[in-house]
Every structure is written in C-alpha cells, then in structure tokens.
C-alpha cells in the first residue's frame, strides 16, 4: 500500500525538514512500514529534495517531485528535468494536478509529455486525474478513464514500461472540508483498477482530495493507498494512518 503526502508550497525549508524528520522517525519504527505493508512517500518542493532524500532514505520513504519538464535537457529556464531529478534520488513525480491545470494551463497533451518523460527516466508518474464537477460515479469513472488514456497516449506509443501511480482526486473535493463520499471513491477507484488490471505498466490507484485519518478503513478494498494533503501536516496524523493500514492487514 502506497501512502504519502505532497507538501505543495505550504512549508519552507526548515519546516519541510522538521516534518520529514518527524514522519521518518515514525516510519523507521512503525511495523506497517518495516513489515512491508506500507510504502510511504513525501513530495516536497524542488529546493528541499536533496536534504529530504537524505532524511527519508533510512526510513524506507520514497521521495517525489511536484513537477518535471517533458524534455531531458535544453533551454527551458526555470524548469527541472527528469534526469536531474533521478540523479537526486527522486523516484516519483506528481504530474497533472488540478492546480497545475487551472493555474498554469496544463492540458492532457502536456501531461502526456511529462508522463512519458518520467517513465523513460525511471521515475514513476503520480498521475493526478479527476472529474471537475460532482456527479454520478459512473459518469465520473468514464471521465477519469478518458483523462487517464489521454495522459498515457505518448507512453503507450513508446511502449513504455515501469511503475505508474494513478492518483484519483476529484477536483471538487480538493481543498474541501471532507473527501468525496466513500461509495463514490470506491466506485471510481474500482473502475480505474479494473481498467488498468492487464496494463503493461505496473499500475496502482490511490485516492487524494481532502484525504486524512479515518478514511482508509472505509475505502481500502478499492484503492492501493492514499495521497494525503493538509490533514497530515501534523506528523502524528501520518502515524495514525499507518496504524489504520496495519490494522487492515491484521484483519485480512
């Protein structure tokens, strides 16, 4: 089970390192992590990545980047390439988040370029998809599958292989007081998992969008983990979710 958080731009360097140290200390001793039940991850801002990697590696935490450029090198001022991220020990890259789409004009076409770049450089895309408006689960699942396939178009053409993390984040639930309804999450995530069941990419489906403690036990039969946000800014909340994952494993 893959469980982790994107820190977005909430924290500066000092608080990022403080948070990572606290979560790494929890992970280093938690039986869910040490027993292989949970694979934890953190996605900090670009400048903090090297120091976060140094802290996280001993705790079996993966480190991701919040974006990358679709070219491996060139005259792209202000951008960061997948090869450089890989040099720093990055193993995940968040791609296509709704905020990137809304604020910076990212489209399915640019997302597809970035997904292909990540995969060819051995970085697992954390591909964010989700319907814009709240509605029926069947319609949401269909919209997400269309978005998923558009985002994978170039990777499919290149016969790319590797790990893919699909982060189902309904746009209407991001930043909301509570996540989408349990039945809605389970229906859409199940449809995505079924769609990807025989894919040549090693795919997992995780849920994000106001996700926090208490949600995992209610949706665990339909997801491969959770993508956490502000509800785990307190490191203890991360530990609580690890407890939930361990309890679920024990109940099976």
Active site residues: 97, 169
Strands (E), the chain: 2-6, 39-43, 62-65, 92-95, 124-129, 163-168, 202-208, 225-228
85: CB partners within 8 A, 6+ apart: 49, 65, 68, 93, 121, 123
> CB–CB of 93/68 below 8 Å?
yes
d(CA 96, CA 27): 28
């Amino acid at each position: 089970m893959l469980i982790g958080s994107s820190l977005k731009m909430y924290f500066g360097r000092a608080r990022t390192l403080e948070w990572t140290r606290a979560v790494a200390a929890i992970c280093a001793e938690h039986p869910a992590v040490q027993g292989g039940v949970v694979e934890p991850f953190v996605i900090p801002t670009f400048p903090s990545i090297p120091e976060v990697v140094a802290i996280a590696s001993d705790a079996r935490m993966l480190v991701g980047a919040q974006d990358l450029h679709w070219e491996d090198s060139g005259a792209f001022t202000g951008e960061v390439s997948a090869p450089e991220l890989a040099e720093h020990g990055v193993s995940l890259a968040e791609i296509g988040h709704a905020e990137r789409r809304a604020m910076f004009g990212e489209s399915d076409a640019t997302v597809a370029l970035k997904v292909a770049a990540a995969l060819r450089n051995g970085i697992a895309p954390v591909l964010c998809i989700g319907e814009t408006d709240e509605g029926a689960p069947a319609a949401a699942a269909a919209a997400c599958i269309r978005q998923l396939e558009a985002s994978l178009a170039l990777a499919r053409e290149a016969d790319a292989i590797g790990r893919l993390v699909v982060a189902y984040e309904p746009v209407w639930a991001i930043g909301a007081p509570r996540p989408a309804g349990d039945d809605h999450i389970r229906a859409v995530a199940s449809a995505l998992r079924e769609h990807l069941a025989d894919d040549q990419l090693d795919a997992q489906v995780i849920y994000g969008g106001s996700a926090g403690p208490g949600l995992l036990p209610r949706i665990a039969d339909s997801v491969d983990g959770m993508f956490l946000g502000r509800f785990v800014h307190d490191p203890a909340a991360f530990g609580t979710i690890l407890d939930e994952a361990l309890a679920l494993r024990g109940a099976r």
